[in-house]
Amino acid sequence: MSVTASPQTPASPLHIALVGNPNCGKTSLFNQLTGSRQKVANYAGVTVERKEGFFTTPHGRTIRVLDLPGAYSLDSTSPDEDVTRDVCLGRHRTEPRPEMLVAVISATNLRLHLRFLLELKQLGLPVIVALNMMDEARRHGLQIDAAGLQADLDMPIVPVVSLNRAGVMPLLQALDLPLPPAPVPLPAGLDPHMEVRRLLATHVVDPAAGTDRLTDRLDRVFLHPVWGPVILLAVLFVMFQTVFAWAQPLMDGLDSGISTFGQIVLKPLPDGILHSLLADGVLAGAGTVIVFLPQILILFLWILALEESGYLPRAAFLLDRLMALAGLSGRSFIPLLSSFACAIPGIMAARTIQNPRDRLVTILIAPLMTCSARLPVYTLLIGAFVPHHTVLGIFGLQGLVLFGLYAVAIVSGVIAARVMTRGVKSEEHPLLLELPSYRRPNLRSLVLGLWQRAVMFLSRVGTIIVSLNVLLWALSSFPLPPAGAPGAAIDYSLAGRIGHLMQWVFAPIGFNWQICVSLIPGLAAREVAVSSLATVYAIGATDDGAADKLLPLLSTQWSMATAFSLLAWYVYAPQCISTLAVMRRETGSIKTVLWAAAYLFGLAYLAAFLTYHITRAITGVP
Amino acid sequence: MRLSRTEAGARELPPHHRGTELMLYLDTLPKGGHAVIEKVEQRAPLDPIATRLGELGFVPGEAVQVVATGPMGRDPIAVRLGSSRFALRRGEAARVGLRTAS
């Protein structure tokens, strides 16, 4: 350590990668090293998150660090682990082999992590071992002879505590030294488990056998067959209360803020096409994007905190059997539940599902969970067509119909998931989920995580949503109606013409041309369909009054069959461009999006067709 | 009782039959029960689940304890293995043969 190292090649930064088991504290170490100097993207062609960052050592050496996905072994069983294996072996298509690995192991879980470390030792790359969570190990009464272990392993070991800057200083200092030589590989045929046992016996004094008493005690409550589900239910209740209730005022505030902003900024502009483009196209589009943000951030604050604390895998444990009914695992529960607020945060939350097939199926059925944007449409149609009866003395018929719409959607989701997972049923679907020790979530990691989600959503999804909104605006505005023409302007536009053409397709399910036309702007957001119906019926009311005025009009102009058919359509229809955009972003595959749209469209059409004809038969309307 | 002589009992490929021997398996170990792993059975040649169990530390000679069972039936189960804990479905746990701790 007496050598004062100088940056060897100041021109090109040293390229290292963090490797380690899941739950070794790798991500918080990465956050501590790089702070906000990190980029989050996906590896080309796969839905695996790629995190890269830069930092500078005390002697001024610039280091480029890749945070590889957590892995239990280089003998990979998932796309995440494929990436880690390929990068470590230098076989990755787009990623160069790092010059050195920083192997992160947790002092509290040496038996598991040392075995993977021995695999990394065979790679022929220089390795520095970051021995993380030494503070916690000491609290559990664990004594580790780091110097002895270092000599035995033939790899430099630096103790780190990734919770604060001072805790990662030893690693920063080690990175200022010249690269260590690659360790000598273990002789072939040596059983790594035996070697780990020998290492532990030689270098670790472990009076309590490494038992984490606190985790044991908490698990007795959180995994209790009765209390466990009760606590989970309470957590979920509070969580979704905040996602719905706390987000709502923020969303309303943002919504009115944006429209006020639009009014002030666009006031100098004369009424006309430019004004309309900016107000109804660009600003309305940006509005739909930004309005999602509070919900996404609140939901992710919960998910990140639950994940970091170690509770999320326990929730997955408790819910596994339930989700197995749909051919999924417990991990899919929270993304699907979130989709009842909105499919967009739900689909983004599917990132917490490690199994790629489960993740894809969860994303594909998320739009079937009835999101809150469908409620205005449901309320309007139920109010207009379902009588205000009471059933069995206590239940309102209208409420029962609403409940039925939710129930049908959930059952359809379960069936769809079963069908999609059926092909691989013969192959066993393992759970094999690690239940890490409970720990307090790190504020810095939470803030960084939230920041990344926000940036990713606004930049990647936002741009798609705004451009599609402008496109829809153009379709609904051009060509302009001739001067003094009767009826609604939209009727003369391209969207209006398409709507009339669409009748060929939609007449069999009872949609009139007004519905068809309103479906087009409704693509921007489902609830927009209500205001565009008002526009088509030339009510002219754009805001809250629209629904009230529409209600009596619809109940006289539409048949009950048409109304129910539209309700059935809304249960399934993939008509939310933002959902499709986020699906595109999260799966990285346009084919998946097209397939999702096609299957949802097919289901919607079938359900509406059946509903229309059955209702006609029952009500006796020809 | 057959004792696996090979250092990695997991590498054997025995026909999966229970009842003929008094082998206890992890999926039937009662909650709170301790045992030592005797072998990890492969259900198919190069069974990826058996391999992964081995990589997670389910190897002959390690002590296991069932710390919790799922709220519906006994599926999944939470198992403590040294300082780590894992949730396993029945099918996975049924690959792990045990001898009860003395």
What digits encode the pLDDT tens for the residues A561-613?
899 999 999 899 877 888 888 888 888 888 989 999 999 999 999 999 999 99
Q: How far apart are the CA of A77 and the nearest CA of chain B, in angstroms?
A: 8
Please state, in angstroms and rounded to a whole number, the distance separating the CA atoms of residues A383 and A160.
62
- pLDDT number for residue A16: 95
**Among A188-192, A193-197, A346-350, A478-482, the least confident range:** A478-482
CA A443 to chain centre: 20
Domains of chain B: total: 1
Q: How far apart are the CA of B91 and the nearest CA of chain A, in angstroms?
A: 8
Preceding omega of A479 cis (within 30 degrees of 0): yes
Place A547 in a pLDDT band, splitting at 50, 70 and 90.
Answer: low
Residue A440 CB neighbour total at 10 angstroms: 10
Specify if B1 maps to a domain: no
The DSSP annotation for chain B comes to -PPP-SS-GGG-------SSS--EEGGGSPTT-EEEEEEE--SSTT-HHHHHHHHTT--TT-EEEEEEE-SSTT-SEEEEETTEEEEE-HHHHTTEEEEE--
**Among A84-93, A454-463, A592-601, the least confident range:** A454-463
pLDDT, one tens digit per residue, over A399-436 is 888 888 888 988 899 999 988 887 654 456 778 889 99
Closest C-alpha among A33, A263, A272 to residue A171: A33
Give the three-state DSSP class for A449: helix
Specify if B55 maps to a domain: yes
Q: Give the percent of chain A with pLDDT over 90.
A: 29
Specify if B3 maps to a domain: no
Please state the rounded mean pLDDT for residues A505-525: 82
Residue B79's CATH number: 2.30.30.90
Are A432 and B85 inside 8 Å of each other by CB?
A: no
Specify if B15 maps to a domain: yes
pLDDT, one tens digit per residue, over B27-59 is 999 888 899 999 999 888 888 889 989 999 999
Preceding omega of A156 cis (within 30 degrees of 0): no
List the domain range (segments joined by +) for residue B41: 9-100
Find residues 39-78 of chain A whose CB sits inside 8 Å of chain B.
72-73, 75, 77
Contact call for residues A317 and A223 (beta carbons, < 8 A) = yes
Give the three-state DSSP class for A211: coil
Tell me the average pLDDT of chain A: 83
Nearest residue of A to residue B87 by CA position? Answer: A433
Which of A80, A112, A426 to mutate: most B Cβ within 10 Å? A112
pLDDT, one tens digit per residue, over A152-178 is 999 999 999 988 889 999 999 999 999
Are A219 and B68 inside 8 Å of each other by CB?
A: yes
Specify if B35 maps to a domain: yes
Residue-range domains of chain A with CATH: 14-211 (3.40.50.300), 221-372+411-428 (no CATH), 460-619 (no CATH)
- pLDDT number for residue A45: 66
Q: Which of A194, A430, A434 is opposite residue B89, by nearest beta carbon? A: A430
Please state the rounded mean pLDDT for residues A518-522: 77
- pLDDT number for residue A317: 92
Using a CB-CB distance cutoff of 8 angstroms, which residues of chain B are in contact with residue A434?
Answer: 56, 84-87
Nearest residue of B to residue A109 by CA position? Answer: B83
- Taking 80 as the threshold, does the pLDDT of residue A538 lie above it? no
Specify if B50 maps to a domain: yes
Are B52 and A73 inside 8 Å of each other by CB?
A: yes
Query: Could you give the C-alpha distances from A184 to A120, A201, A542, B47, B100, in angstroms and in order?
Result: 11, 22, 74, 31, 39
Q: Give the percent of chain B with pLDDT over 70.
A: 75
- Taking 60 as the threshold, does the pLDDT of residue A390 lie above it? yes
- pLDDT number for residue A249: 85
* B interface with A, Cβ–Cβ below 8 Å: 7-8, 43, 48-49, 51-57, 59, 67-73, 75-76, 78, 80, 82-89, 91-92
The DSSP annotation for A402-420 comes to HHHHHHHHHHHHHHHHHHH
Q: Which of A112, A313, A433 is opposite residue B57, by nearest beta carbon? A: A112
Q: What is the pTM of this model?
A: 0.80
Contacts 24+ apart (CB under 8 A), A245-251: A246/A294, A246/A298, A247/A294, A247/A295, A247/A298, A247/A341, A250/A294, A251/A291, A251/A294, A251/A295
Please state the rounded mean pLDDT for residues A328-348: 83
pLDDT, one tens digit per residue, over A276-316 is 778 777 777 777 677 778 877 888 898 889 888 999 889 98
Please state the rounded mean pLDDT for residues A322-347: 83
- pLDDT number for residue A464: 72
- pLDDT number for residue A424: 57
**Among A115-124, A554-563, A602-611, the least confident range:** A554-563
- Taking 60 as the threshold, does the pLDDT of residue A182 lie above it? yes
- Taking 50 as the threshold, does the pLDDT of residue B87 lie above it? yes
- pLDDT number for residue B17: 45
Specify if B2 maps to a domain: no
Give the three-state DSSP class for A432: coil
Specify if B4 maps to a domain: no
Nearest residue of B to residue A22 by CA position? Answer: B56
pLDDT, one tens digit per residue, over A211-228 is 667 888 999 999 999 999
- Taking 60 as the threshold, does the pLDDT of residue B62 lie above it? yes
Place B18 in a pLDDT band, splitting at 50, 70 and 90.
Answer: very low
